[in-house]
Amino acid sequence: QKEVEQNSGPLSVPEGAIASLNCTYSDRGSQSFFWYRQYSGKSPELIMSIYSNGDKEDGRFTAQLNKASQYVSLLIRDSQPSDSATYLCAARSAGGGNKLTFGTGTQLKVEL
Amino acid sequence: GAGVSQSPSNKVTEKGKDVELRCDPISGHTALYWYRQSLGQGLEFLIYFQGNSAPDKSGLPSDRFSAERTGGSVSTLTIQRTQQEDSAVYLCASSLSQGINQPQHFGDGTRLSIL
């Protein structure tokens, strides 16, 4: 069983819509969570980080964390074609050293 | 430099050869990580450095893999007697410190192909 699970997609949304990306994790000791965007052939780029239950907003991006349900999500408002990429969810636990445990990513396609 | 720098960007070598991959972290970042990403797989942790020490080597797949860091800066990942299953993108990341909330910033990676 993978420790961080994501739907591989592709998730297709029309331009201007809200894209909702979801992630679940199995380690209850996970304390910090990160969303990375990865364009094809490129390295992961940090989009958002979240540590506390609730919502965290940054521009068009909102990260949501529910530790009781072991669930993290990323909302992208007013989706643009340039948002088309693979989105990686990563978790980090105090007992797991400093490594990030990644999901396999969700491919997002924003269509004109 | 402004970001994490990795070299070479691409490496093609024959099975059985040794390869050395280099990572230059963001200036001032004390923590350095190596991951690898295989086709269709998530990023897989290999090793973590804090300064020149490696408190966590748990992700190294076999004793053919080793890494070192000198001067609290540049790190090299060495793969001896390469095998075809070693083909992957090797990514290096650094963070300002080892704090659990510190984000990790990635380099562009080295794409390793074993023939």
Interface of A with B (CB under 8 A): 2, 4, 31-32, 34, 36, 42-46, 49, 51, 88, 90, 92-94, 97-105
> What Cα–Cα distance (Å) separates residue B61 from each residue in A23, A76, B42, B114?
26, 36, 15, 16
- How close is the nearest chain A Cα to the Cα of B81, in Å? 26
pLDDT at site B101: 83
CA distance B100 to chain A (A): 7
Phi/psi region, residue A60 (left: phi>0; alpha: psi -120 to 50; beta: rest), is alpha
User: Residue holding tokens 């990686």?
Assistant: A88
Distance from CA of B70 to the nearest CA of A (A): 20
Name the minimum distance, in Å, from the CA of A34 to any CA of chain B: 8
Confidence bin at B81 (pLDDT 50/70/90): very high
Confidence of residue A29 (pLDDT cuts 50, 70, 90): confident
Nearest by Cα to B9 from B21, B18, B24: B21
Give the pLDDT of residue A62. Answer: 98
Determine, for residues A44 and B59 on separate chains, whether the beta-carbon distance falls below 8 Å.
Answer: no
Q: Which of A103, A98, A33 is nearest to B46 (CA)?
A: A98
Share of chain B above pLDDT 90, in %: 86
With CA atoms as reference, the chain B residue closest to A5 would be: B42
Closest partner CB to B101 (pick from A44, A51, A101): A51
| Interval A20-38 mean pLDDT | 94
User: Above 70 in pLDDT, residue A95?
Assistant: no
Q: Which helix (H) or strand (E) holds B89?
A: strand B88-95
Look at residue B72 in the predicted model and tell me its pLDDT: 87
Q: How far apart are CA A46 and CA B107, in angstroms?
A: 12
| Residue B53: band (very low, low, confident or very high) from pLDDT cuts 50, 70, 90 | very high
Mean pLDDT of B12-39: 95
Q: Strands B31-37, B10-13: parallel, antiparallel or unpaired by DSSP?
A: unpaired
pLDDT at B106: 96
Q: What is the pLDDT of residues A32-51, one digit of tens each?
A: 999 999 999 899 999 999 99
Interface test with A, best of B30, B96, B100, B105 (most A CBs within 10 A): B100
Which residue in chain B has the smallest CA separation from A88? B42
Altogether, the residues listed in chain B come to a count of 115
Tens of pLDDT, residue by residue over A85-94, are: 999 999 998 7
Angle among Cα B80, B83, B88 to the nearest 5 degrees reads: 95
What is the residue-averaged pLDDT of chain A?
93
